[in-house]
Structure 1
Amino acid sequence: MTKPHVTIDLEVITNHLHAAYERPTRLAVWTAMADIPVMLAEIQRTLALLTRARLDFANLLAAARASLAAERDGEPDPYSYLRDEVAQHRGEQEQQ
């Protein structure tokens, strides 16, 4: 699994904001304001990653619970639920 990376330079954005506070020239303020759409895009991207991670976790947890219940009920292949979900998860990762 790859680690999500930040697509913005937080230090540069912070410097733009501080420059606009310290010396609020038109250029400094416009430069700081120009960072807003970039930050909004990063927030949307991060929320999409979080949503995906939460869905993956929920699906894996449901499969684990189904496998435990199947084992308790004496099904012949109780871990098939978990194997199927892990296989699906791996297949989706390979497509990305």
Structure 2
Amino acid sequence: MTNNPRPTIDTEAVRSHLQAARRQPTPTTTRTALADIPVLLAELERLGDLLSQTRWDFANLLAAARATLAAHHEGEPDPLDYLRDEVGEHSQ
């Protein structure tokens, strides 16, 4: 099962608007297709924000994993504490 973010736009409608404007470029079909641009840009920004957050989350989890390994190597009494703290930040 994949946890990909669901689009907030109707991509089939956007495709349909574009195809209609290409087939028969009337003012109405062109305006309809052009009206999709702000929606698409907003979706790109939303997905970019999600990607950025995912990268930060991964970096933080990787840092916690590395800190856990270093703590274990140094003989700390509870090296998993680093990882527990970070995973706890992501509990659902």
TM-score normalised according to structure 1 size: 0.89
Which residue is 1:48 aligned to?
Answer: 49
Higher normalized helix content (fraction of residues): 1
RMSD, matched Cα = 1.1
Q: Percent identity?
A: 58
Structure 1, unmatched stretches of 5+, are none
Separation of aligned partners in 2, 1:60 and 1:75: 19
Structure 2, unmatched stretches of 5+, are none
TM-score normalised according to structure 2 size: 0.92
User: Within 5 A, what are the aligned runs for 1:6-45?
Assistant: 6-45=7-46
Q: Partner letter of residue 14 of structure 1?
A: R
Moved over 4 A (4+): none
Which residue is 2:88 aligned to?
Answer: 87
Separation of aligned partners in 1, 2:27 and 2:5: 35
Separation of aligned partners in 2, 1:23 and 1:37: 22
